[in-house]
Structure 1
Amino acid sequence: MSAAVGPPCGTGVAAAAQDFSAIRSELGLPADYPPAALAEVEQTVAQPVPTGSRADATDLPLVTVDPPGAKDLDQAVLVRRRHRGYRIHYAIADVAAFVVPGGALDVEARRRGQTLYLPDGNVPLHPTRLSEDAASLLPGQVRAAVLWTIDLDLDGLPVRVDVRRALVRSVAQLDYDGVQRSLELGAPHPSIALLPDVGRLRREQAMRRGAIELGLPEQQVESDGAGGWRLVLRPRLVVEAWNAEISLLTGMCAAEMMLSAGIGVLRTVPDPEPETVAGLRRSAARLGVDWPVDLPPAVALAELDPIRPEALAVHVAATRLLRGAGYTAFGDGAPAKANHAGIGASYAHVTAPLRRLVDRYSAEVCLAVAGDRQVPGWVLEALAQLPSAMGSSDRIAGQVERACIAQAQAWSLVSRVGEDFPATVLRASNGVAGEVFVADPPVIARCTGDGLGEGQQVRVRLVVADSARREVAFEVA
């Protein structure tokens, strides 16, 4: 099951003696930025952004759409209709305007790789003076941006792509819940009134490409309002999926530009082996889920509602289809393996440079290709190291997420050892051990007992809830 750590909510952690400092210490997460890097940020922020080489796009009524309370705003969007399709304006924070190649900030950002999210505060890729202020696409502020303009036909396919440096000004900071409500009321912000149309078209294209997407709800940790933390299960809003399609579209366009030029860095996930797909079909059959033999995994999974226990188990089992994620850098022609199975196309990260290192370099490659210029030397020097740097930071991010979820699970159940809970079996091994999902509180943990089968509804008894070891375990009741 997908697990996301929620944004910081409230204060008062110390009062309940519940914080995530042990996780920070165990994983060696950096606490502060080096003084030299902070000084460098102040110097670059104090200097005006050069305007001569930038297009003035401040007249575009762009808006940002992010989780509530977000300050590191990477993207701003505007969707308009064309006579035969749509035009997407997508502004991405131009972090390169503030980072001196080889400088103290650059060195520290390369060491970090990406922003790490913990419930009681983030470990940012860039100092907040930059990521939440000077470079963030905050409303009403003129900002340096990399502006993508993508024209789509009536089927949602790109027919023209342009990318250039620009000055932009967001007119509103929106959040997912608010946008969802406004769409349901029929009163969306004019800048994204067409987002549902484009989002649906792009979702249809994703199915045609064979994109393998797991529709799993997210475990999140949020403040309980009393200085502690609680687990919640948050289903993904449809507006989040539509908004994500704009980012995915941009990343696919970026990948095509890189592949055509024979230089860049892609996010890759190998296509699943036929025997892996066959194994998933067998699992679905054992669970009583109908999967016609001619139906590809992308369509079969999209048609399953993960709220149903057996469908939830199939979605969890389908994670085996998306193994082997990594990054592929190339500089002398297109690589042999360039596909991202989860997207069903080649894809490059270019839309979150405030939070992810590789996006800054990928943007520079695309700007150079679009302008028929040489890729900057500082980008060429770093390309070969990016897959390793991003792979390392991805592993740390995964460890952080899992540890925070495990800690919150143990806290939420520490006083309930011996209680029984209804549960769904997500995984099972030899019928005597496996993993179960308990809905209230939303917990995923190991379970032992006879007769465990994937997709079963069972009653389980909590036998371990150790907050010091972040361990939770059940047995069949």
Structure 2
Amino acid sequence: MKSLTDPSQALSAGLAKIRTEFHVPDGFPPNVIASAEAVARRVPSQHADRTAIPYVTLDPASSTDLDQAFSIEASGGDLLLHYAIADVAWFVEDGDAIDLQAWNRGETLYLPDGKAGLYPPLLAEAAASLLPDGPRPAVIFTIRVAGDGAVKLDGAERAVIRSRAKLAYDSVQPSDVPAGFAELARRMAANEERRGASRVDPPEQEVERLADGTFRLSFRPLLQSEQDNAALSLAANMAIADAMLAHKTGLFRVMSGPDASKVQRLRNTAQALGLSWPASTSLRDYQRTLDPTDPRQAALMLEIRRAGNGASYQPYQEGVVPWHEAMAATYAHATAPLRRLADRYVVRCALAIANGQSVPQAVTDAFARLPKVMGRADARASQISHAAIDLAEAVMLKGHEGETFKAVVTDFVDHGVRVQLADMPVVASVKASGLRQGDGLTLRLISADPDQRSVVFESVTPA
């Protein structure tokens, strides 16, 4: 990892430019703020009292928009996950000023120097957030996790909870979390393996603002605590998806896998990277063996993710089983309603069907509109993330023009190759020919332009 001191404020200026270019909202209109101030004072009146149950949250240390809290108990050989999700719908009504603004945004946008929330901070980081500073309204989903990791939605209710602790990924200890946390994660992982799930979690290239005002660009693999915590959301999202499908309603997250030609290209990439991929081993099975801390295996994991067709949203359709290839399951997004618009409606749907009620017509109508809205929001979030990384790479390399860098070819692009620098978390494209994936080469930096968010290398000689 390398810190960016940014003495010229090039990164700060570039981030401001990104916000303008991608129309990142700056705050909220006065009418939305006024509405948030009013609804934040709403006292939960349709909620059971579950404040005696010891819930905790687990998130990045700096997070304040806390969607989920959890408690776990044993039930014979099963585990019961009591998964409390922020009850956003208690504060936001269909067609009000807050709701209309959320439909314009789609999701929270994250940049290294701050975020543009889906909802005003007074709600997302205070009244609706499951912080440990007081009781909060929530929707509690009870998920039964069997010994083999099979999941079932046992019930759902509106309730008031009180989080006992705000735990952080980088400091949480086994004694901090409820008993059964690690076992539940183990069961879900074993179930994924039996299903043949092919989730790929390569290290992410990210720009992080440090406490001293500098920035750091790095490849960051997931911590074990993050992976275990993700298992809770996975259990809830799968159980809720199955329940919606059984009731012939819902909004699902779907994704198809790479076709045969892309799988063969991935096999070629593995060979070029010096990795052994037996001919009898499927992509699903092979990628579960990859280690994200190994640079060459991490490079292949990134290529596997690029080879996928991308996930999207799909409302229920009669006779169609919605399928998420990477999850090898029917899947939905329900566990982050403070950050994703679609989740608020999935939560409302699941709450209704779990209690034998009809799904509100407004929710069904929203399911038809949400795929387009969420697709547009996801695309903008991805563009912003890539722009921030391109900017950080240019800032990091500015002043090093003329220097040489060792790199490895990871893929082919138009008129050249994509490379990974050996000693920096930088991915770039270079005009070159006659190279194979996995080949090493030496590059000379020609230019690094933070204003254009571009870096230009030329190939000097094979490394």
Structure 1 match to 2:379: 395
Change (3 A) 1:464 1:14: closer
Structure 1 match to 2:388: 404
1:473 is paired with a residue whose SS is strand
Shift of 1:176: 0.2
Give, in whole Å, the separation in 2 of the partners of 1:308 and 1:418.
Answer: 29
Q: Is the 8 A contact 2:44 2:160 kept in 1?
A: no
Shift of 1:455: 2.0
Q: Is the 8 A contact 1:312 1:426 kept in 2?
A: no
| Amino acid aligned to 2:425 | P
Q: Is the 8 A contact 2:71 2:83 kept in 1?
A: yes
Structure 2 match to 1:455: 438
Q: Is the 8 A contact 1:369 1:375 kept in 2?
A: yes
Shift of 1:236: 1.0
Structure 2: 5+ residue stretches without partners: none
The answer to whether 1:66 aligns with 2:59 is yes
Shift of 1:380: 2.2
Shift of 1:313: 3.4
Bigger mean CA deviation after superposition, 455-464 or 65-74: 455-464
Shift of 1:255: 0.8
Change (3 A) 1:16 1:272: closer
Give, in whole Å, the separation in 1 of the partners of 2:105 and 2:30.
Answer: 16
The answer to whether 1:245 aligns with 2:228 is no
Bigger mean CA deviation after superposition, 98-107 or 421-430: 421-430
1:77 is paired with a residue whose SS is strand
Cα deviation 1:160-204 (Å, max 9, x = unaligned): 52122111110000000112xx24xxxx2142x432222122112
| Amino acid aligned to 2:357 | R
Structure 2 match to 1:464: 447
Structure 1 match to 2:457: 474
The answer to whether 1:189 aligns with 2:176 is yes
Change (3 A) 1:154 1:55: same
Structure 2 match to 1:353: 337
The answer to whether 1:424 aligns with 2:424 is no
1:30 is paired with a residue whose SS is coil
Shift of 1:20: 0.9
Structure 1 match to 2:313: 327
State how 1:96-135 maps to structure 2 within 5 Å: 96-135=89-128
Q: Is the 8 A contact 2:68 2:84 kept in 1?
A: yes
Structure 2 match to 1:318: 304
| Amino acid aligned to 2:31 | A
Structure 2 match to 1:56: 49
Q: Is the 8 A contact 1:13 1:227 kept in 2?
A: no
| Amino acid aligned to 2:318 | G
Cα deviation 1:294-328 (Å, max 9, x = unaligned): 32222201212244444233223212442142110
Bigger mean CA deviation after superposition, 381-390 or 315-324: 315-324
Matching residue within 72, 86, 96 for 1:79: 72
State how 1:221-240 maps to structure 2 within 5 Å: 221-223=207-209, 227-240=213-226
Matching residue within 124, 136, 148 for 1:155: 148
Change (3 A) 1:21 1:159: closer
Give, in whole Å, the separation in 1 of the partners of 2:11 and 2:249.
Answer: 52
Structure 2 match to 1:165: 158
Matching residue within 120, 132, 137 for 1:144: 137
Give, in whole Å, the separation in 2 of the partners of 1:204 and 1:140.
Answer: 36
Q: Is the 8 A contact 2:54 2:163 kept in 1?
A: yes
Give, in whole Å, the separation in 1 of the partners of 2:107 and 2:11.
Answer: 30
Change (3 A) 1:10 1:349: farther
Count of aligned pairs between the two proteins = 458
Superposed structure 1 runs of 4+ greater than 3 Å apart: 9-19, 224-228, 285-288, 306-310
| Amino acid aligned to 1:100 | E
Structure 2 match to 1:294: 280
Q: Is the 8 A contact 1:261 1:333 kept in 2?
A: no
Identical-pair percentage? 38
State how 1:22-41 maps to structure 2 within 5 Å: 22-41=17-36
Q: RMSD value over aligned CA atoms?
A: 2.4
2:265 is paired with a residue whose SS is helix
Q: Is the 8 A contact 2:342 2:370 kept in 1?
A: yes
| Amino acid aligned to 1:20 | L
Normalized against structure 2, the TM-score is what? 0.93
| Amino acid aligned to 2:291 | D
Shift of 1:223: 2.6
Change (3 A) 1:446 1:16: closer
Give, in whole Å, the separation in 2 of the partners of 1:205 and 1:148.
Answer: 20
Give, in whole Å, the separation in 2 of the partners of 1:395 and 1:280.
Answer: 25
Matching residue within 190, 207, 225 for 1:204: 190
Shift of 1:226: 5.2
Give, in whole Å, the separation in 1 of the partners of 2:62 and 2:130.
Answer: 14
| Amino acid aligned to 1:145 | A
Structure 2 match to 1:377: 361
The answer to whether 1:437 aligns with 2:420 is yes
Shift of 1:75: 0.4
Give, in whole Å, the separation in 1 of the partners of 2:292 and 2:215.
Answer: 26
Structure 2 match to 1:3: none
Bigger mean CA deviation after superposition, 432-441 or 406-415: 432-441
Q: Is the 8 A contact 2:87 2:139 kept in 1?
A: yes
The answer to whether 1:20 aligns with 2:15 is yes
Structure 1: 5+ residue stretches without partners: 1-5
The answer to whether 1:92 aligns with 2:78 is no
Q: Is the 8 A contact 1:313 1:427 kept in 2?
A: no
Matching residue within 179, 199, 215 for 2:201: 215
Give, in whole Å, the separation in 1 of the partners of 2:6 and 2:63.
Answer: 16
Q: Is the 8 A contact 2:56 2:177 kept in 1?
A: no
Give, in whole Å, the separation in 2 of the partners of 1:420 and 1:172.
Answer: 49
Change (3 A) 1:285 1:85: same
Q: Is the 8 A contact 2:153 2:239 kept in 1?
A: no
| Amino acid aligned to 1:452 | L
Give, in whole Å, the separation in 2 of the partners of 1:103 and 1:164.
Answer: 24
Shift of 1:421: 1.8
Q: Is the 8 A contact 2:14 2:451 kept in 1?
A: no
| Amino acid aligned to 1:146 | V
Give, in whole Å, the separation in 2 of the partners of 1:168 and 1:226.
Answer: 36
Normalized against structure 1, the TM-score is what? 0.90
Give, in whole Å, the separation in 2 of the partners of 1:467 and 1:190.
Answer: 43
